């Protein structure tokens, strides 16, 4: 089989993969968390960090909006905790950007949620 046929076969197999909502949420958190970590470790200025923090805050706004929907099948207590985490994320993001607060709490929250989405209490 030549390289083009192999590439097409690999693409078809990937395109048929069905992604769960949990998997999509995990992937989004993983991408943003990686960006937060990288930006925090770099000395490249506020730009990359501001972008990652902004995208993280937007993701948590989506989580809160979904959790606030009465049609959401999650238990009410869990939905309330998600909304609370989103509010903390919003407030702490402002402190990171305005006051230079540590980004680590945002990363820690994301990693904890990733562990939950992954279905284990171990590492994400």
pTM above 0.95, yes or no: no
pLDDT of 11 reads: 56
User: Quick one: which of 121, 113, 56 has its CA closest to 81?
Assistant: 113
Beta-carbon contacts of 105 under 8 Å, excluding residues fewer than 6 positions away, are 88, 92
pLDDT of 42-66, one tens digit each? 876 789 999 999 999 999 999 999 9
């Amino acid at each position: 089989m030549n390289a083009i046929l192999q590439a097409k076969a690999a693409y078809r197999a990937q395109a048929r993969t069905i992604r769960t909502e949990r998997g999509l949420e995990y992937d989004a958190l993983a991408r943003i968390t990686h960006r937060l970590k990288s930006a925090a470790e770099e000395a490249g200025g506020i730009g990359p960090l501001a972008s990652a923090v902004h995208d993280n805050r937007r993701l948590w706004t989506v989580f809160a909006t979904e959790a606030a929907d009465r049609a959401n099948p999650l238990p009410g207590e869990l939905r309330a905790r998600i909304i609370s985490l989103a509010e903390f994320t919003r407030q702490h993001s402002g402190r990171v950007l305005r006051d230079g607060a540590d980004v680590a709490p945002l990363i820690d929250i994301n990693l904890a949620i990733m562990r939950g989405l992954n279905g284990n209490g171990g590492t994400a």
